[in-house]
Structure 1
């Protein structure tokens, strides 16, 4: 928007008006930045709260999953399991950990390690407990068994071949 020219003949008044206009624009910019920061802070608090609630519900989800694996699935149990997964998913809960995934120590806890001369890298061979995340936040790593190549001879970092 173009500044309107006021018929001010006194230079000191014109200078004062420009100063006040600059001050007002600076205060408005600071307020806009403050509003954006408050919005970001609120979103961060919400994400933390959702992650905390989801983390506390993981044992419930585990119990439902174990029940579905070991008991005959009744229509009621099927409904409970589906509703629970759907509602937790709507909050952003994402399960991960599948057989054949490359082992990533940032997302997997290796509960057992098996050596195979056919293996080229560490691969998850069995998922003992699913891992979960919300967005980029890890709630719980997956517990897995891995198969990997034999350790190089003389590599002091790796120790002896043994199961963990």
Structure 2
């Protein structure tokens, strides 16, 4: 005759043997649970076809979506950096042009003095060499002088200080240049002071009226 289990005497359920999922897992005794082998694990969805299971809708993005997002970020960052480089280069050129223009504007009285000396008599010796070197160096910086007798009068770059004939000519021209004008590229440093008259009066300049 089999003797009842000690735990059954006191109204407790009998102990059940529970095996873990792994074959080498130890056996455990838990009250009230039947002894059952869970068997092998079932493969998840997509395991039979060899394809990875897709992420659920609304979940984390897949590798391709993440790659496309990072690529867009890099392209946008590169475009912003290219625009920044262009803007910095443009600002540097603008600052350089302003600095050069300020230096050249300060040298215009020196050029006016050289022009007056040339009008009085031809330059010789060391004075001529200095004047030619000065013209060459300033020309290399982009300084350009303009206005000669016979040029059409342009109020944008010519300053009329007198008229040769009274009235307003139909086609005014610069009959005489009292002071040359200078520009650097498209920037006007100083307008030229001229006498205005008809084309037939070229070379008959008189003093300012």
Is 1:111 the counterpart of 2:161? The answer is: yes
Q: Supply the RMSD in Å over aligned alpha carbons.
A: 2.2
2:72 maps to which of 3, 9, 22? 22
SS at the partner of 1:121?
coil
* Residue of structure 1 in register with 2:182 after alignment: 132
Is 1:76 the counterpart of 2:94? The answer is: no
Q: Which of the pair is proportionally richer in helix?
A: 1
Task: Spell out, residue by residue over 1:92-123, the C-alpha distance to the aligned partner (whole angstroms, 9 max, x if none).
Answer: 00100010011111100001013279x64111
TM-score, normalised by the number of residues in structure 1: 0.80
Task: Spell out, residue by residue over 1:2-55, the C-alpha distance to the aligned partner (whole angstroms, 9 max, x if none).
Answer: xxxxxx986522111110111011101110111011111111111111111110
Is 1:91 the counterpart of 2:110? The answer is: no
Runs of 4+ in 1 over 6 A off after TM superposition: none
* Residue of structure 1 in register with 2:104 after alignment: 54
How far apart in 2 are the matches of 1:90 and 1:26? 41
User: Any stretches of 5+ residues in structure 1 without a counterpart?
Assistant: 1-7, 150-162
TM-aligned CA deviation for residue 68 of structure 1:
2.4
TM-aligned CA deviation for residue 69 of structure 1:
2.0
User: Any stretches of 5+ residues in structure 2 without a counterpart?
Assistant: 1-51, 56-60, 200-207
TM-aligned CA deviation for residue 73 of structure 1:
2.0
* Residue of structure 1 in register with 2:31 after alignment: none
The structure, 1 or 2, with the larger RCO (C-alpha pairs under 8 Å, 6+ apart) is 1
Alignment length (residue pairs): 143
How far apart in 2 are the matches of 1:79 and 1:69? 17
Is 1:146 the counterpart of 2:196? The answer is: yes
Which structure's CA Rg is the greater one?
A: 2
SS at the partner of 1:33?
helix
TM-score, normalised by the number of residues in structure 2: 0.63
